[in-house]
Amino acid sequence: MTEKLIIKGQTPASGEVSISGAKNSVLKLMAASLLCSDVCTIYNVPDLSDVEIMNEVLSELGAKTDYYKSEKKITIDARNITNYETSKEFVSKMRASFCVLGALVGRLNMAKVAMPGGCKIGERRVNFHVKGLESLGCECKIQDGYVIAKTNHLRGNMVCFDIPSVGATENVMMASVTADGVTIIQNAAQEPEIVDLANFLKSMGADITGAGTSEIVIKGVKQSELRGCEHTTIPDRIEAGTYMSIIASSRGSAVIKNIFPNHLTLFTGKLLEMGANIKLIDPNTMFVSNDKRLKSMNFITQPYPGFPTDLQALAMALLCCADGISVVTESLYENRFMHVQELWKMGANIIVNKKHAIIKGIEQLVGTQVQATDLRAGAALVTAAVNAVGETEISALHHIDRGYENFVDKLRGLGIDAIRVDTESNTLEKIGEDYGTRV
Q: Are residues 74 and 13 in the same domain?
A: no
Q: Has residue 59 been placed in a domain?
A: yes
Cα(227)–Cα(221) distance, integer angstroms: 12
Q: Which pLDDT tens digit goes with each residue over 136-150?
A: 999 999 998 899 999
Residue 125: per-residue pLDDT = 67
Residue 423: per-residue pLDDT = 76
Q: Are residues 10 and 135 in the same domain?
A: no
Over 80: is that where the pLDDT of 95 sits? no
Q: What is the value of pTM for the model shown?
A: 0.93
Q: What is the CATH number of the domain that holds 35?
A: 3.65.10.10
Over 90: is that where the pLDDT of 429 sits? no
User: How buried is 279 (Cβ within 10 angstroms: 0-12 exposed, 13-18 middle, 19+ buried)?
Assistant: exposed
Tell me the pLDDT band of 117, cut-offs 50, 70 and 90. Answer: low
Q: Are residues 61 and 116 in the same domain?
A: yes
Q: What does the mean pLDDT of the chain come to?
A: 92
Q: Has residue 71 been placed in a domain?
A: yes
Cα(48)–Cα(429) distance, integer angstroms: 17
Q: Are residues 16 and 132 in the same domain?
A: no
Q: What percent of the chain has pLDDT over 70?
A: 94
**What Å distances lie between residue 146 and 6, 24, 119, 152, CA to CA?**
40, 22, 19, 20
Q: Which pLDDT tens digit goes with each residue over 259-316?
A: 999 999 999 999 999 999 999 999 999 999 999 999 999 999 999 999 999 999 999 9
Domain range spanning residue 189? 23-232
Q: Are residues 29 and 14 in the same domain?
A: no
Residue 97: per-residue pLDDT = 80
Tell me the pLDDT band of 439, cut-offs 50, 70 and 90. Answer: very low
Q: Are residues 205 and 262 in the same domain?
A: no
Tell me the pLDDT band of 434, cut-offs 50, 70 and 90. Answer: very low
Q: Are residues 241 and 212 in the same domain?
A: no
Q: Of all helices (H) and strands (E), which one includes residue 432?
A: none
Q: Are residues 12 and 83 in the same domain?
A: no
Q: Has residue 184 been placed in a domain?
A: yes
Give how many domains the chain has, as a whole number.
Answer: 2
What would the mean pLDDT of 350-370 be, rounded to a whole number? 97
Annotated active-site positions, please? 119
Q: Has residue 410 been placed in a domain?
A: yes
* Three-state secondary structure call for residue 356: strand
Residue 152: per-residue pLDDT = 95
